[in-house]
C-alpha cells in the first residue's frame, strides 16, 4: 500500500485501511485518535488523498475498483450498500457500470457526492444485504429486481442466467424471494420472465391447451397419462408410436433431472417409440411452434410406417 509508520496510531489506520481496500473515513480517523489538524497534515504530506468529502485513500491516490466502491460506501451513510448496476458488477452478473457508482441507503438521508448515484430505499430493501470482499452489497435477489426495473425481458433473462450460472441464486429461489418484495420496481418484470421459463401447468390445464394444438396438427386424440415402457407419459399416439412429454421448470434442470429425462427417452426409443419433448411454456406461449413441429414429426412417422423403415433418430425439440 506504500504507507507505514512505527506509531501505534498509524498501525491501526493501516490495518483498517487494508480491510477497506485502502480507504478510510474522516470519522474513522477521529475515532482512531487523530485530530483534524493531524488529518490535514497527512493530506499535505501525501499520506492521505481526498477521494470524496470526508473519505481518503491511504498511502497512494489510485484505488482499485473495490477501493472506489468502498470509498463510495464510506462517503454515503452508515447503512449504505452497493446496489443496482454496481451490485450487478461486483456479483459478476452484469457487464459494466454505465451510471456511476450506485449505492442505496435509508430514505430521508442526504448523501450527495459527485460520481455517486444515490438511491433512497425503504428499510426492507436495506435488510437484503450481503458482504462481498468486505463491501456491503444488496443480495442477489434484490440486485436482479433492481436491474430489472431498467431492463427489457431479454436483459432480465440474461441477468438471471448469469446469476444462476455463477451459483448465486437459481430461478426457484428467486421466485420464492420476490414473493416478499411487494410492488418494488422490477418485481413484475422478473416474475413475467420467470413465468415464461418455469411455467407449469396442471394436467387438466395442459390437456385443455395441448389437445386443440394436436387437433389442428391433424392428429387423432391421444391417450393421456398412459403407461408406456414402464413410465407414465403425458400423451401417446398408438398408430404413430409417438410419445409426447411436457416438461415444467425447464429453465433450471439439474444434471440428475436431465439424466432421468434421457433414460426415459432412450427406453422409449429402444422399444421402437418416438419420444418428443415440449415445455409447458411452449404449449402455453408458443402454440404455433408446437403445432408446426407436431405436423412435421407426424409426417415423418407416417412415412416411416409406410416404408417400414428402421426407426429414425429422435428429433430434439
The one-character DSSP state at 252 is S
Asked whether residue 74 is assigned to any structural domain, the reply reads no
Q: Which of 181, 197, 213 delimits the end of a domain?
A: 197
Same domain, yes or no: 189 and 243: no
Cα separation, 114 vs 72, in Å, equals 10
The one-character DSSP state at 100 is S
Cα separation, 37 vs 41, in Å, equals 6
**Is residue 41 over pLDDT 90?**
yes
- Contact predicate 148/190, CB 8 Å: yes
Asked whether residue 262 is assigned to any structural domain, the reply reads yes
Q: What is the CATH number of the domain that holds 38?
A: 1.10.10
With a threshold of 0.75, does the pTM exceed it?
no
Report helix, strand or coil for 98.
Answer: coil
Asked whether residue 281 is assigned to any structural domain, the reply reads yes
Task: Tell me which of 74-83, 92-101, 196-205, 225-234 is least confident.
Answer: 196-205
**Is residue 314 over pLDDT 60?**
no
Q: Which of 150, 182, 197 delimits the end of a domain?
A: 197
Find the angle CA(27)-CA(32)-CA(36) to the nearest 5 degrees: 55
Cα separation, 310 vs 300, in Å, equals 12
Which one has a higher pLDDT value, 125 or 28? 28
How many structural domains compose the chain? 3
Question: What average pLDDT does this structure show over 257-279?
Answer: 92
What confidence category does residue 109 fall into, taking pLDDT thresholds of 50, 70 and 90?
low
Torsion of CA 256, 261, 267, 273, to 10 degrees: -170
Q: What is the pLDDT of residues 60-101, one digit of tens each?
A: 999 999 999 999 999 988 889 999 999 999 999 998 777 789
Asked whether residue 271 is assigned to any structural domain, the reply reads yes
Domain encompassing residue 41: 8-63
Same domain, yes or no: 208 and 193: no
Asked whether residue 111 is assigned to any structural domain, the reply reads yes
Which one has a higher pLDDT value, 206 or 196? 206
Torsional sign, CA 227, 233, 237, 238: negative
Same domain, yes or no: 99 and 153: yes
Cα separation, 48 vs 65, in Å, equals 18
What confidence category does residue 254 fall into, taking pLDDT thresholds of 50, 70 and 90?
low
Closest alpha carbon to 105 in 116, 117, 85, 121: 121
Amino acid at each position: 500500500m506504500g504507507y507505514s509508520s512505527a506509531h501505534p496510531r498509524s498501525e491501526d489506520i493501516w490495518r483498517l485501511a487494508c480491510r477497506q481496500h485502502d480507504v478510510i473515513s474522516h470519522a474513522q480517523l477521529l475515532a482512531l485518535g487523530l485530530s483534524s489538524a493531524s488529518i490535514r497534515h497527512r493530506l499535505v504530506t501525501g499520506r492521505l488523498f481526498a477521494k470524496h468529502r470526508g473519505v481518503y485513500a491511504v498511502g497512494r491516490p489510485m484505488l482499485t475498483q473495490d477501493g472506489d466502491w468502498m470509498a463510495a460506501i464510506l462517503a454515503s451513510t452508515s447503512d449504505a450498500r452497493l446496489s443496482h448496476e454496481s451490485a450487478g458488477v461486483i456479483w459478476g452478473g452484469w457487464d459494466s457500470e454505465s451510471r456511476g457508482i450506485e449505492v442505496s441507503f435509508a430514505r430521508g438521508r442526504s448523501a450527495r457526492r459527485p460520481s455517486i448515484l444515490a438511491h433512497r430505499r425503504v428499510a426492507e430493501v436495506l435488510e437484503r444485504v450481503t458482504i462481498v470482499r468486505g463491501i456491503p452489497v444488496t443480495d442477489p435477489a434484490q440486485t436482479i429486481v433492481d436491474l430489472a426495473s431498467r431492463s427489457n425481458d431479454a436483459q432480465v433473462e440474461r441477468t438471471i442466467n448469469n446469476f444462476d450460472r455463477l451459483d448465486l441464486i437459481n430461478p426457484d429461489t428467486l421466485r420464492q424471494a420476490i414473493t416478499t418484495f411487494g410492488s418494488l420496481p422490477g418485481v413484475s418484470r422478473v416474475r413475467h420472465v420467470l413465468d415464461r421459463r418455469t411455467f407449469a401447468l396442471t394436467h387438466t390445464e395442459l390437456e385443455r391447451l395441448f389437445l386443440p394444438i394436436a387437433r389442428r396438427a391433424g392428429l387423432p386424440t391421444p391417450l393421456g397419462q398412459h403407461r408406456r415402457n414402464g413410465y407414465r407419459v403425458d400423451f401417446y399416439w398408438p398408430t404413430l408410436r409417438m410419445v409426447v412429454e411436457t416438461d415444467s421448470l425447464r429453465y433450471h434442470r439439474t444434471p440428475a433431472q436431465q439424466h432421468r429425462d434421457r433414460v426415459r427417452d432412450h427406453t422409449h426409443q429402444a422399444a421402437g417409440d418416438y419420444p418428443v419433448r415440449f415445455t409447458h411454456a411452449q404449449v402455453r406461449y408458443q402454440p404455433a411452434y408446437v403445432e408446426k413441429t407436431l405436423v412435421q414429426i407426424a409426417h415423418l412417422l407416417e412415412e416411416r410406417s409406410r416404408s417400414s423403415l428402421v426407426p429414425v433418430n429422435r428429433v430434439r425439440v
